């Protein structure tokens, strides 16, 4: 039976409480100008998709302006209580040389000199990238999530400061989205319950030589990749309820002169239809939508405000795929990981609330309790006023140890190879 047919969706209640917290405890501006002057903003846009059995007869709720908007009254509406909350993501266009190529992200971009503030950047970029006007009366600005300093090269090179802003689209319908060719390949509405489900969790593998070695030839990069393996990041497989693709882009489907192609088909092509089969196979083969990296970190901050308050389970520490390298890193970072978790003052209890049939509270094997159980309201207030985002707190000092562990593991591997070669050489000389 439908999970929502027996009563209101409990996830709606938790979402309402989280949005109240965000609106009441706004995060402040963080000055990272000493490390980087570049800033960027993204928009976390939420909407409620009505349930089939509770579709509203008419849109009777008047949003008014942001000052007069009543979140509690909005979430008390029957169609909202039975609805399915969703977040919109974009898949960036594939562009050579772009560090964000084909990434799943939130709408947003870099701040320009003419922008008034960080919030206006999120609004402008959303309008440019997907054609959604966040200044519309149907869009309500909720608040701001913690800013984060984005680093590359395993946490050594600062790129920019990222500012996430939360918006709520209050209507059941949206104006037609207009995706920007060359910037956005597709846009996807994904239910929150799918992102919170343990069955959606997976990993993303990245070539380690691309992250560690900015210089060097293909041979040195190949050797490094063979020693360390790939870098493993936690990820979530996204299952959209609605998707739209930028058909104006060549990435969607290359433009062809169908008449000319038909006339140029060879005799064998016409018999076996090889060209059509190849095109069909290309269309069938699609990469899954994976939420990972800094965008996953933003969602962890947001989901952390909702029961069962174990959103950190959506995320795990980056590591390498080779088991010996992974073992060395685990040993080196054990105390650091425990200290960083202690600083969050989070109690991962096994008796946590269940959101729905599939989103179960996942017990953490490394449960941490500081001074007993901490009042959840105190945790929420601390997380709102603490300008360091959750993933940033957990990663504090981690990449330094990761690089050190990689060097130690690589040295042990090289020493092992040399020792083995020496033993073989000595044995060969005796013979």
Coil, strand or helix at 288: coil
CA 294 vs. chain centroid, Å, equals 6
pLDDT tens for each residue of 29-57: 777 777 788 999 999 999 999 988 888 87
**SS3 state at 187:** strand
- The token pair that represents 75 in the structure block: 């979430």
More confident residue, 279 or 169: 169
CA 121 to each of CA 111, 130, 370, 385: distance values in angstroms, whole numbers, following the listed order: 6, 14, 39, 23
Q: Please give the pLDDT value at position 276.
A: 47
Q: Where exactly are the structural domains of the chain?
A: 10-430
pLDDT confidence band for 375 (50 / 70 / 90): very low
Mean pLDDT across 67-88 = 89
Token couple for 411 = 């040295």
Task: Please choose, from the candidates 276, 318, 314, 354, the residue with its C-alpha nearest in 3D space to the C-alpha of residue 154.
Answer: 318
Average pLDDT over residues 86-91: 97
pLDDT digit string (tens) for 194-207?
Answer: 999 999 999 999 88
Q: Is residue 86 within 8 Å of residue 189, measured between CB atoms?
A: yes
Q: Are 164 and 298 in contact (CB under 8 A)?
A: yes
Would the pLDDT of 274 be above 50? no
Q: Is a pLDDT exceeding 60 seen at residue 268?
A: no
> What's the average model confidence in pLDDT over 407-417?
87
Residue pLDDT, tens place only, 107-142:
999 999 999 999 999 999 999 999 999 999 999 999
Instruction: Identify whether 163 is preceded by a cis peptide bond (ω within 30 of 0).
Output: no
Q: What is the DSSP string of 293-327?
A: HHHHHHHHHHHTTSTT--GGGG----EESSHHHHH
Percent of the chain with pLDDT over 90: 41
Output the pLDDT for position 358.
38
Residue 298 has which token pair? 């933003």
What band does 360 get if pLDDT is binned at 50, 70 and 90?
A: very low
66: pLDDT strictly greater than 90: no
Tokens of 415: 């020493």
CA distances to 97, 131, 148 from 102, rounded to whole Å, are 11, 19, 22
The answer to whether residue 172 scores a pLDDT higher than 80 is yes
- Whether 3 shows a pLDDT value over 50: the answer reads no
Helix orientation angle between 218-228 and 398-430, rounded to the nearest 10 degrees:
90
What are residue 148's DSSP bridge partners?
162
Pair 128, 157: CB distance under 8 Å: no
**Taken in order 129, 236, 254, 187, is the CA torsion positive or negative?**
negative
- Cα(80)–Cα(78) distance, rounded to whole angstroms? 5
The whole-number pLDDT of residue 186 equals: 94
Distance CA 97, CA 83 (A): 41
DSSP states along 368-388: --SSSPPPHHHHHHHHHH--S
pLDDT the model gives residue 29: 77
pLDDT band at 387 (very low <50, low <70, confident <90, very high): very low
Span 140-159, mean pLDDT? Answer: 85
Whether residue 304 contacts residue 390, with contact meaning beta carbons closer than 8 Å, is answered with yes
Band of pLDDT at residue 378, cut at 50, 70 and 90: very low
Q: Residues 8, 16: contact at Cβ < 8 Å?
A: no
At residue 370, the pLDDT reads: 32
pLDDT at 261: 53
For 10-430, which CATH class? alpha beta
Query: Is there a contact between 93 and 182 (Cβ–Cβ < 8 Å)?
Result: yes
**Average pLDDT of every residue of the chain:** 79
What is the C-alpha to C-alpha distance for residues 196 and 360, in angstroms, rounded to an integer?
9
pLDDT for residue 154 is more than 60? yes
Q: Which tens digits make up the pLDDT trace of 305-359?
A: 888 777 888 899 999 999 999 999 999 999 999 998 887 754 433 333 333 333 3
Identify the helix (H) or strand (E) that includes residue 41.
Answer: strand 39-49
Q: pLDDT band at 284, cuts 50/70/90?
A: very low
Task: Quote the CA–CA distance of 199 and 290 in Å, as a whole number.
Answer: 13
Highest mean pLDDT among 56-70, 80-94, 258-272, 410-424: 80-94
pLDDT beyond 80 at 61? no
Residue that wins the pLDDT comparison between 337 and 209: 337
Q: Which of 337, 390, 386 is nearest to 365 (CA)?
A: 337
Residues 246-258 pLDDT 10s: 887 767 776 665 5
Q: Say if residues 319 and 119 touch (Cβ distance below 8 Å).
A: no
Residues 185-196 pLDDT 10s: 999 999 999 999
């Amino acid at each position: 039976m439908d999970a929502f047919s027996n009563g209101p969706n409990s996830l709606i209640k938790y979402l309402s409480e989280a949005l109240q917290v965000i609106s009441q405890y706004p995060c402040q501006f963080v000055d990272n100008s000493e490390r980087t002057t570049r800033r960027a903003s993204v928009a976390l846009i939420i909407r409620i998709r009505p349930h089939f059995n509770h579709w509203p007869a008419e849109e009777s709720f008047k949003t008014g302006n942001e000052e007069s908007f009543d979140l509690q009254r909005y979430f008390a509406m029957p169609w909202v209580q039975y609805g399915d909350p969703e977040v919109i993501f974009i898949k960036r266009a594939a562009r050579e040389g772009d560090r964000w190529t084909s990434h799943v992200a939130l709408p947003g971009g870099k701040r320009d000199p003419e922008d008034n503030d960080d919030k206006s950047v999120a609004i402008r970029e959303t309008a440019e990238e997907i054609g959604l006007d966040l200044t519309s009366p149907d869009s309500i600005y909720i608040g701001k999530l913690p800013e984060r300093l984005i680093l590359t090269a395993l946490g050594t090179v600062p790129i920019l400061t990222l500012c996430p802003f939360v918006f709520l689209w209050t209507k059941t319908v949206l104006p037609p989205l207009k995706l920007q060719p060359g910037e956005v390949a597709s846009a996807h509405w994904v239910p929150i319950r799918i992102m919170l489900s343990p069955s959606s969790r997976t990993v993303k593998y990245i070539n380690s030589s691309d992250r560690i070695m900015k210089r060097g030839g293909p041979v040195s990069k190949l050797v490094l990749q063979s020693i360390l393996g790939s870098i493993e990041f936690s990820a979530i497989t996204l299952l959209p309820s609605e998707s739209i693709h930028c058909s104006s882009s060549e990435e969607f489907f290359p433009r062809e002169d169908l008449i000319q192609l038909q006339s140029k088909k060879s005799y064998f092509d016409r018999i076996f239809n090889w060209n059509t089969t190849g095109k069909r196979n290309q269309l069938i083969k699609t990469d899954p939508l994976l939420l990972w990296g800094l965008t996953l970190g933003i969602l962890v901050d947001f989901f952390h405000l909702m029961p069962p308050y174990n959103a950190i389970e959506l995320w795990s520490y980056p590591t390498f795929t080779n088991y010996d390298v992974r073992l060395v890193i685990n040993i080196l970072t054990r105390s650091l990981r425990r200290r960083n978790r202690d600083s969050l003052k989070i109690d991962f209890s096994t008796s946590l609330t269940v959101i729905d049939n599939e989103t179960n509270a996942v017990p953490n094997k490394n449960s941490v309790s500081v001074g007993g159980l901490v009042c959840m309201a105190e945790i929420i207030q601390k997380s709102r006023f603490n300008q360091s985002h959750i993933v940033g707190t957990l990663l504090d000092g981690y990449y330094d140890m990761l690089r050190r562990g990689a060097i130690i593991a690589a040295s042990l591997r090289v020493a092992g190879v040399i020792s083995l070669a020496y033993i073989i050489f000595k044995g060969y000389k005796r013979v």
